[in-house]
A = this chain, B = another copy of it.
Amino acid sequence: MTKIVDDPEAFASSALAGFSRVYGRYVRLVKGGVVRSTAVPRGKVSVIVGGGSGHYPAFAGYVGPGMADAAVAGEIFASPSTAAVARVCRNADHGGGIVLGFGNYAGDVLNFGVAAERLRAEGIDVRIVTVTDDVASAPPDRPLQRRGIAGDFVVFKVAGAAAEAGLSIGEVERVTRLANSRTFSFGVAFGGCTLPGAKEPLFTVPKGMMALGLGIHGEPGIRDTDIVPASDLARLLVETVLAERPAGAGRAAVLLNGLGATKYEELFVLWGVVESLLQASGVDLVAPEVGEYVTSLDMQGCSLTVMWLDEELERYWLAPCDTPVFRRGETLRTQPAAARADVEDEALRFGPASPASQESARCLAGILDAMVSVLGEAEAELGRIDAFAGDGDHGQGMRRGAGAAREAIQRAVAGGAGARSALAAAGDAWADRAGGTSGAIWGLLLRSWSSAFSDGEAVGEADAVRGARLALDDVMRLGGAKPGDKTLVDAFVPFVEALEAGHAEGLPLKAAWHKASAICEEAAQATAPLVPRLGRARPLAERSVGHPDAGAVSLALIARTIAERL
């Protein structure tokens, strides 16, 4: 939903004006649109595109050498007026005639059509090509009744390149029509879009559902279905679009387009599968594009477009261009591909180990197993605590790290590793898989603890206590936190001190650990600051008043879990 707005009525024109200020090196603002601000050879055919606003980068973002000469922009989702179309065309006419390109909507057909009549009466040769790529909007036997969606982008790219190459108006029109006739798109949406200033979205998609085949102005789709995993969505898009593959078609320009509120990361996840499926169907992908090219305000969803290439279309698809949102061609000296092999990590190998140490390793694996269960249960709560002062991912990171550590120690045990090697492997896996601060800290903690053990002997009680001190020292040295910083260190210091004291008094490890674990819990709770502070690690922690540090809480939780297993 739009949040940055002054006057909702002026939203589209203000956005266009702001765009023109950023991209003055490409465009000049005229009332109702933008035209190239750069010199254009006299006699070149002008490619002028347009439609309603709310589809950025369509259409103003396409203006520049190698693509469009101008873009006409209506109000949000509304066709520009006849007067606006005519005005922009007059400002972008270079004497070679005009190819007017727009999506096939009644309002645009009417306004661009009437404008074209007026311009012809003024002596300008104007040709109209409507884009009709959306396979969901009419059956294959009525292609001219289909509306235009993201196919606009690929068709206009070809048109612009053909005009830039110096083709006559008849030829540019022919190539543009050819491009459109070989372009097919299909889209889905997960959520509706809201006009600036409106209180309600134009339409909604029920929670957990997706709408198939809907338009880019909130027009309803063919039907709603349950949201499916990315792989199934990829299959649906690819199969639907490939259903209209022309005989003999093999090479294709492909566009995976985001509708506005779908993140690039999501598109990339989807693309991994889409590309594989297309390749498996024998499609040669030529310079595919993934991103936002035709949006629909804040609609959530995406579409897949395929333009089947012949030699001519491929040439124009690949031709250089330079627009605010899309550039082809070299900006630096040609960069050949590098021939370089991956530098691999060292392989995991374990040295010889005694049966006693192997038995200790199994024991440690059991402890890791218990940690994974406890951290799994506590994940949401740890996240909640973390969210007061941090980014709320602590629980997720701990579960992920512990899970990776368990897997690694089990693999090590199966491979005959001793206690030291097995625990070190667990620490490395934790750090590598969990990421974040806590991942690094726990990786260090386990690896340093393991350095008190050996692969030749069973882990003794004294070794366990000595390991705790080594772990604490490394965590403080490399982690950089001191007692009082309201981190895990605040709970770790009293734990280790109590463990050492109990051991020195002659208590068995289980009893000493129990005592230390209780002290650790108290200390963790005490990390809840009672007054606002501006600390080093988390300068915005004022809001964490009354809430303990999530890392300290995790440590206490793990200490207690181990106490119960010893």
Contact A266 to B15, CB < 8 A, known contacts A107-B436, A110-B440, A540-B221? yes
A2 contacts across to B, CB distance below 8 A: 263, 265-266
Within A135-194, the residues touching B (CB, 8 Å) are 136-139, 142, 145-147, 190-191
Q: A311-344: contact bitstring with B at CB < 8 Å (1 yes, 0 no)?
A: 0000000001110000111111001111010110
Contact between B80 and A435, CB atoms less than 8 A apart: yes
**Can you list 12 A-B pairs, Cβ within 8 angstroms, ordered by A?**
A4-B270, A15-B269, A22-B268, A74-B435, A75-B397, A76-B393, A90-B343, A111-B439, A111-B440, A145-B539, A217-B390, A219-B540
Residues of B within 8 A of A342 (CB): 30, 91
**CB-based contact A18/B272 at 8 Å:** yes
A350: Cβ under 8 A from any B Cβ: no
**Contacting pair B265 A82 (CB below 8 A):** no
Partner of A15, one of B268, B439, B534: B268
With A14-B272, A52-B435, A77-B391 known as contacts, the answer to whether A443 contacts B82 (CB < 8 A) is: yes
A39 contacts the other chain (CB 8 A): yes
| Contacts of A533-564 to chain B: CB distance below 8 A | 534, 536-540, 543
Which residues of the partner chain B approach A295 to less than 8 Å between Cβ atoms? 263
- Chain B residues with Cβ below 8 Å from A389 are 219-220
Size category of the binding interface on chain A = 35 or more
Q: Is the CB of A219 within 8 A of B391?
A: yes
Chain B residues positioned under 8 Å from A331 (CB to CB): 66, 320-322, 327-331
Q: B78, B87, B431: which contacts A393 (Cβ < 8 A)?
A: B78
- A110 surroundings in chain B (CB, below 8 A): 437, 440-441, 478-480
Cβ of A158 to closest chain B Cβ, rounded Å: 17
CB-nearest residue of chain B to A32? B432
Q: Interface-forming stretch among A222-230, A409-417, A449-457, A518-526?
A: A222-230
Further 5 A-B residue pairs, CB within 8 A, beyond A18-B267, A22-B268:
A18-B271, A56-B265, A81-B433, A202-B391, A220-B543
Binds B, one of A296-304, A362-370, A418-426, A459-467: A296-304
